[in-house]
Amino acid sequence: MTYRLPPLNGLRAFEAAARHRSFTGAADELCVTPGAVSQLVKALETALDTRLFHRSARAITLTPEGKKYLPAIRRAFEEIAAATEATAPGLPGRKLRLGITPDLDRAGSAVLRGLVGRKGTRDIVGQRVADDPGLLVQGGSLDALLRLSDEGCAGLHLDRMTVIAADRSRLDAVLVTRPGIAGCRQHKSLVMLLARAARESN
Amino acid sequence: MTYRLPPLNGLRAFEAAARHRSFTGAADELCVTPGAVSQLVKALETALDTRLFHRSARAITLTPEGKKYLPAIRRAFEEIAAATEATAPGLPGRKLRLGITPDLDRAGSAVLRGLVGRKGTRDIVGQRVADDPGLLVQGGSLDALLRLSDEGCAGLHLDRMTVIAADRSRLDAVLVTRPGIAGCRQHKSLVMLLARAARESN
DNA sequence: CTCGAGACATAGATTTCCTGATGCTCGCCG
DNA sequence: CGGCGAGCATCAGGAAATCTATGTCTCGAG
């Protein structure tokens, strides 16, 4: 059996852009520039001869065709991601080493305190570190870094998060992750943890 | 949600190679050289840090990890292919124009005669043409060409088929298809038709 | 033993892809 | 109403990935 498949990297850009409702957001996730995402999506649309997004100056929205197309693509990627994680785990048999910058540590978030604590969680062990994405290089001492700014993170995976400080104020933080790790079990566990904490403190 | 995905083109090469049990066969399908497939698979194995094939001089076989990995990948590609065909059909609303070379036409296969007949089938209309893959260029008069040789088909999708002649002898034919069309509904229908005819004449 | 098929390695060439700059459009706000 | 600012499109140039071509090796068939 032979498959008729569109450009797969374009498909990935499409899925990410749809999820973020933004080419810029997708670009952060994919560690490329917004222009690259724009080109990938356009190439996909050309290959399909079908428009997937409406573009306006401020936002993108899915066309009916895009809406129809997306769920299957999402399922397919979930399937691939799950199988990959099962066959070749991203962080086999160890915890994700999370760095937390002094700024954030000082804010005294309850969740973060739990992560830095004696044993961390099953999947994560936190530590206070300098605010330096350079610690994330291959072979470095960190797998991910939670900080306030997204500066100097070219080529790194970004997730924007809200962190609840001790005084119940909300901080806009950025979880910077080494590519190749982003999306593995431990990383998902971390993102979930932070998202739940933010959601529960309304 | 963020996905951890391996190199998608390598995944495609992996799936095709597993199906053909051969890098060369996969290369035909993907319209590249066997060396390219070899490199894509190796890059995938490196990214996963997991060996997917055992290589011997004459053949490749899946490792246990490869065996475990394959079904999910296959399901994912099926999902994508189906969604793509549903959202953006390869040959929207028309029949596949199949060329049949004089050699094969003369052999007088019953199935082929049916295809060339007045109306063809629901999906296919056949015609006798010269043995020239050049007819398959974009904008040309053919979508696929059934012939005996695979010469001069660089960059075109190949499927190897068996055709039953009028005298019940078996001919090794090659179905050459324009890339971008291979795998669409009409093409699948054609491949099925020929495969069934060959199977039924044992 | 020789031959052929097929996998691998490498180098060079080609193509793809990404970046960075620039321009545009739209909504917001003074 | 006119000046931002955010975000997407586009383009040219360059970086990076990918493909081809060639040669080598191994194995199995004859």
Q: Which of B171, B175, B196, B186 is nearest to B99 (CA)?
A: B175
How far, in Å, CA of B86 to CA of B68, rounded? 29
CB-based burial, A164-184: b 16+ in 10 Å, e otherwise: beeeeeeeebbbbbbeebbbb
How far, in Å, CA of B119 to CA of B95, rounded? 10
Q: Is residue B44's pLDDT more than 90? A: yes
B166: Cβ–Cβ under 8 A, 6 or more apart, which residues?
Answer: B107, B108, B109, B110
Residues in chain A: 202
Across chain A, mean pLDDT equals: 91
> Percent of chain A, pLDDT > 90?
72
Q: For residue B181, which residues of chain A lie inside 8 Å, CB to CB?
A: 4
- Which pLDDT tens digit goes with each residue over B93-128? 899 999 999 999 999 899 999 999 788 899 999 999
Residues in chain B: 202
pLDDT score of A21? 94
What CA–CA distances, in Å, run from B168 to B54, B146, B148, B164? 39, 18, 17, 6
Q: Is residue B134's pLDDT more than 80? A: yes
Of B5, B19, B84, the CB nearest to A5: B84
Q: Output the six-digit token pair for B196.
A: 């069934």
Domain end residue (candidates: A69, A87, A105): A87
Residue B29 sits in the same domain as residue B63: yes
User: Are B81 and A4 within 8 A, CB to CB?
Assistant: yes
Mutation site, A52, A80, A157, interface B, largest B CB count within 10 A: A80
| CATH number for position B71 | 1.10.10.10
Residue A79 sits in the same domain as residue A109: no
Across chain B, mean pLDDT equals: 90
Residue A48 CA and nucleotide D9 C1' are separated, in Å, by 20
Which of the pair, A138 or A84, is modelled with greater confidence? A84
Residue B100 sits in the same domain as residue B180: yes
What CA–CA distances, in Å, run from B72 to A83, A103, A178, B30, B67? 6, 43, 26, 20, 10
Q: Which of A197, A201, A199, A202 is nearest to A111 (CA)?
A: A197
Q: Which of residues 146-185 of A touch B (CB under 8 A)?
A: 157, 159, 180-184
Task: For residue A97, list its beta bridge partners.
Answer: A125
User: Are A3 and B77 within 8 A, CB to CB?
Assistant: yes
Q: Is residue A42's pLDDT more than 90? A: yes
Q: Which of B43, B7, B12, B45 is nearest to B26 (CA)?
A: B12
| CATH number for position A160 | 3.40.190.10
pLDDT score of A1? 74
Q: Report if residue B119 sits inside a domain.
A: yes
Mean pLDDT over residues A79-97, rounded? 93
How does residue B202 score in pLDDT terms, banded at 50, 70 and 90? low
Mean pLDDT over residues A158-167, rounded? 90
Domain end residue (candidates: A54, A87, A120): A87
Mean pLDDT over residues A130-134, rounded? 89
How does residue B15 score in pLDDT terms, banded at 50, 70 and 90? very high
Residue A124 sits in the same domain as residue A78: no
B46 to chain A, any CB pair closer than 8 A? The answer is no
Q: In which domain, by residue range, is B16 found?
A: 8-87
Q: For residue A181, which residues of chain B lie inside 8 Å, CB to CB?
A: 4
B39: Cβ–Cβ under 8 A, 6 or more apart, which residues?
Answer: none
Q: Report if residue B2 sits inside a domain.
A: no
